[in-house]
Amino acid sequence: MSSTKSRKGLIFKLTLWMVVSIAAAFIAFIVISVGVLYSIVNAQLDHHVETVLNEAEVLWLKEPVGQNDLIQGLVASRGMVVVVLAPDGEVLLKTSSPEIDSSVVHKIKEHVATEQHDEHQSHIFTYKNMRLGVKFIGTKTPGEIIAVAYSFSPWLQAIRWYVASMVVLALLFIFGVGYFVHSLIRRSLMPITDVVNTVQNISTSGDLARRIPLTNRQDEVGMLIGVLNDMLSRLEQSLKAQQAFLSGAAHTIKTPLASMRTHLENLSSNGSDFSDVTTSIDRLSKVIDDMLYAVNVSSYKPKEEKVDLSGVVKDICELTSTLASAKGVKLQCKVKEGVFVKGDRNLLVRAILNIVENATYYTTKGEIEIVLDYEQKNVRLEVSDTGVGMSKEFLERAFERFSREESEANNNGTGLGLSITRDIIKAHGGEISIKSEKDVGTSVVIILPGAPS
Ligand SMILES: Nc1ncnc2c1ncn2[C@@H]1O[C@H](COP(=O)(O)OP(=O)(O)OP(=O)(O)O)[C@@H](O)[C@H]1O
Ligand SMILES: [Mg+2]
């Protein structure tokens, strides 16, 4: 689950990084190209304005009033107007153009009145999407003023179209590349996800005999699989060696223990009482058995047989009812018929018996209730008692091996029962949890995946 999440996170981050880089490159390209385009257009406009200004001046100087038509013809088709003003501001000539409104005359007058001018130089500036060129005619001071206005709205419109189409193109490109990169990264990371999932399964099931399927990849992923499989082989070997060592040691200790017990029984038949010693020997044998069980069960792969859990729980109820009634504790069993799970019957008996035995041992008054039922697709077994309960501090380490809490009800157990039970339940794909309160009672809940009946 977490691996899928982190994979998604990684894919998202890599794709985002790619998309942001491409978007940044596009933005930079658009900004630079618009800047260059704008300066080229400006230079061209200024050149035009300057040329027309000079041509119109020549025509005006040749024949001031009669050249109206010539000047009009000069600029008519170019989206320009020419204005000639007398020194007192009177408009001597004004050609017309649909792109340029009459406020331009006012702007020219205002400009001439407020700005300093070199008498022989034209002065070009921008006003309302227009480039305006102004200059004094001839050498008379103050002379007539000639001005040319050139609308650059069409150019501006063209640049806007250019930017809009570049943005649309960029979006399409980013979307396409983003999708492509996303699926490419997802495909590249897929084997890593498989590796993580397999390792996670091995870790939760404790099945060290499993290996990550080999691929014929020669890249880092292939190397990673090889290294992990090597590590699993070594772990499996070391676990097997450990188990073999413990089994050997246990059998070596148990054989003399068994012969000691037989010897003591023979001596007892002569009237001597060795019951304390035989009890200690029995307890030692149980500890050894439990230790062996605890070591082996964590790496055990349960069978996949169909187990009638209702039958198992009912048998256990019957088995413990004698002990419970001997202690004056009421035992109630509410077992739903036909509850099945998949797994190993013997292991499940051991796990449930541990819990029910605990409830019986650590309860001196009140009652024990065992409830087995389905909970959606799962199976739920709850064993609750009104016994001595566990302290908060102990509850945190109740599943640790050899952990036991001193109480007057203590049965001199090994402290391995709960850890063995937890390992068995985990090996069956289930969960176990405990709720307990000191001097109030304990409730143990086991959830197992149900099997169809
Ligand atoms: N139902 C319960 N009520 C109160 N305390 C409990 C209960 N079940 C377990 N405990 C506490 O948890 C400890 C560990 O239980 P666990 O079953 O692992 O070991 P044990 O019962 O001591 O020995 P054994 O290995 O023989 O089962 C017990 O010693 C006891 O202190
Ligand atoms: Mg126990």
pLDDT of residue 220: 82
Question: Per the structure, how many domains does the chain have?
Answer: 3
Nearest CA to ligand 1 atom 23: 413
Token pair listed for 10: 């990684």
Which ligand 1 atom sits nearest the alpha carbon of residue 441?
3
Average pLDDT over residues 58-69: 75
> 117 lies in a domain?
yes
Residues 265 and 126 placed together within one structural domain of the fold: no
Q: Identify the domain containing residue 133 by its residue range.
A: 2-157
Phi/psi for 313 (5° steps) reads: -65, -40
pLDDT at 95 over 90: no
Residues 267 and 322 placed together within one structural domain of the fold: no
Closest ligand to the CA of 422: 1
Q: pLDDT band at residue 71, thresholds of 50, 70 and 90?
A: confident
Q: Is 198 in the pocket of ligand 1 (CB under 6 A)?
A: no
Q: pLDDT band at residue 315, thresholds of 50, 70 and 90?
A: very high
Q: How far is the CA of 418 from the centre of ligand 1 (A)?
A: 7
Q: pLDDT band at residue 15, thresholds of 50, 70 and 90?
A: confident
Residues 415 and 354 placed together within one structural domain of the fold: yes
What pLDDT, in 10s, does the model give residues 171-209? 999 999 889 988 988 888 788 888 888 888 888 777 788
Average pLDDT over residues 151-176: 90
pLDDT of residue 360: 95
The whole model's pTM is what? 0.60
pLDDT at 1 over 50: no
Q: pLDDT band at residue 433, thresholds of 50, 70 and 90?
A: very high
Q: pLDDT band at residue 347, thresholds of 50, 70 and 90?
A: very high
Question: SS3 for 140?
Answer: coil
pLDDT at 424 over 90: yes
Q: pLDDT band at residue 375, thresholds of 50, 70 and 90?
A: very high
Q: How far is the CA of 102 from the centre of ligand 2 (A)?
A: 103
Average pLDDT over residues 127-139: 84
Average pLDDT over residues 263-287: 86
Strands of 110-251, DSSP E: 123-127, 130-136, 145-151
Which ligand 1 atom sits nearest the alpha carbon of residue 387?
3
pLDDT of residue 3: 47
The DSSP string of 258-325 is HHHHHHHHHHHTTT---HHHHHHHHHHHHHHHHHHHHHHHTT-----EEEEHHHHHHHHHHHHHHHHH
Residues 312 and 395 placed together within one structural domain of the fold: yes
Average pLDDT, the chain: 87
Q: Within 13 A of 151's CA, how many CA atoms are on the CB side? A: 18
Which ligand 1 atom sits nearest the alpha carbon of residue 385?
1
Average pLDDT over residues 395-419: 85
Q: What residues pack around ion ligand 2 (CB closer than 5 A)?
A: 358, 413, 417
Closest ligand to the CA of 444: 1
> 212 lies in a domain?
no
Residues 239 and 310 placed together within one structural domain of the fold: no
pLDDT at 164 over 50: yes
Q: Within 13 A of 64's CA, how many CA atoms are on the CB side? A: 11
Q: Which amino acid is at 256?
A: P
What pLDDT, in 10s, does the model give residues 319-346? 999 999 999 999 999 999 999 999 999 9
> 197 lies in a domain?
no
What pLDDT, in 10s, does the model give residues 232-245? 999 999 988 988 88
Token pair listed for 277: 């010693």
Residues 335 and 443 placed together within one structural domain of the fold: yes
pLDDT of residue 206: 72
Q: How far apart are CA 446 and CA 203, in angstroms?
A: 21
Residues 312 and 411 placed together within one structural domain of the fold: yes
Tell me which of 289, 418, 421 to substitute to probe ligand 1's pocket, judged by most ligand atoms within 8 Å of the beta carbon: 418
pLDDT of residue 302: 73
Q: How far is the CA of 354 from the centre of ligand 1 (A)?
A: 8
| CATH number of the domain to which 130 belongs | 3.30.450.20
Higher per-residue pLDDT: 314 or 291: 314
Q: Is 417 in the pocket of ligand 1 (CB under 6 A)?
A: yes
pLDDT at 41 over 80: yes
Q: Is 423 in the pocket of ligand 1 (CB under 6 A)?
A: no
Q: pLDDT band at residue 59, thresholds of 50, 70 and 90?
A: confident
Token pair listed for 345: 């019957």
Nearest CA to ligand 1 atom 4: 389
> 55 lies in a domain?
yes
Q: How far is the CA of 414 from the centre of ligand 1 (A)?
A: 8
DSSP H helices, 309-440, are: 309-326, 345-361, 392-396, 417-427
Q: Which amino acid is at 381?
A: L
Residues 6 and 141 placed together within one structural domain of the fold: yes
Q: Within 13 A of 136's CA, how many CA atoms are on the CB side? A: 17
Residues facing 435 on adjacent strands: 443
Residues 371 and 263 placed together within one structural domain of the fold: no
The CA–CA distances, whole Å, from 257 to 95, 269, 277 equal 126, 19, 11
pLDDT of residue 199: 87
Q: Is 358 in the pocket of ligand 1 (CB under 6 A)?
A: yes
Q: How far is the CA of 411 from the centre of ligand 2 (A)?
A: 8
- Listed range (37-41, 198-202, 267-271) with the worst mean pLDDT: 267-271
Q: Which amino acid is at 220?
A: E
Average pLDDT over residues 268-294: 85
pLDDT of residue 312: 97
Closest ligand to the CA of 405: 1
pLDDT at 266 over 70: yes
Nearest CA to ligand 1 atom 12: 404
pLDDT of residue 141: 58
Average pLDDT over residues 252-274: 87
